[in-house]
Amino acid sequence: MTPMTPMTPMTPMTDAAGGGPDPRDAEAVSRFVESFAAQLVEAGMQRMPARVFAALLASDTGAMASAELSEQLRISPAAVSGAVRYLAQQHMVSREREPGSRRERYRVHSDQWYEALTNRETVIKRWGSTLREGVAGLGEESPAGRRLAETLAFFEFVDIELAAMMERWRVHRDQLFGPDSGRA
């Protein structure tokens, strides 16, 4: 028996909506999940959260249970739990209870990028506040104070531009996909 590579589909995929076989090419889905996850890792995301996020993104419903993720990705339920915890903290997925069950499903929404960037906006504001304190404490004319002041100016610029960009995105998204597309 040859070892399986991440690009090889490891288990048959099921259609989460109907419970039957997924008509999509499992190998193509697996290639996408692993390729996109690798790009997310390259950009700084941890490997397991990247794989779980890519799998959710590639699922037709955008939602999967822990067992489904564990089976599809060939990872332990604990790895799924840790990945989902990280993704939820980053506002990239949400947890939902299955009606009449104690099982949770994890969902990626159409607006996950908006949510993730909005979360970054909050972080940028906190950094700005700390940088202001640093500039005041180090003195605006010291080399370190000037460096902090320039960093603060950059974050203030990004904060303004991010808010304007997100508004333009909402208008653009609504033109492309309709006004109800944000929480699919």
> What pLDDT does residue 53 have?
95
Backbone torsions φ then ψ of 140, nearest 5 degrees: -60, -25
- Check residues 24 and 21 and name the one with the higher pLDDT: 24
CATH topology of domain 26-107: Arc Repressor Mutant, subunit A (1.10.10)
> What pLDDT does residue 91 have?
83
Report domain extents, the chain. 26-107, 112-183
Question: Among residues 21, 6, 2, which one has the least CA distance to residue 73?
Answer: 6
Query: Is a pLDDT exceeding 50 seen at residue 26?
Result: yes
Question: Among residues 133, 136, 128, which one has the least CA distance to residue 159?
Answer: 128
DSSP string over 45-71:
--HHHHHHHHHHHHSSSSEEEHHHHHH
> What pLDDT does residue 10 have?
42
Least trusted range by pLDDT, from 12-16, 24-28, 146-150, 157-161:
12-16
> What pLDDT does residue 17 have?
46
> What pLDDT does residue 67 have?
95
- The mean pLDDT value for 79-90 works out to 94
Read off the pLDDT band of 7 (50, 70, 90): very low
Write out pLDDT tens, residues 106-128: 999 877 777 777 777 788 889 99
Read off the pLDDT band of 182 (50, 70, 90): low
- The mean pLDDT value for 155-173 works out to 89
pTM, 2 dp: 0.70
Long-range contacts of 114-121 (CB under 8 A, 24+ apart): 114/166, 114/169, 114/170, 114/182, 115/91, 116/90, 116/91, 116/92, 117/162, 117/166, 118/91, 118/166, 119/90, 119/91, 120/162, 121/159, 121/162, 121/163
- The mean pLDDT value for 10-21 works out to 47
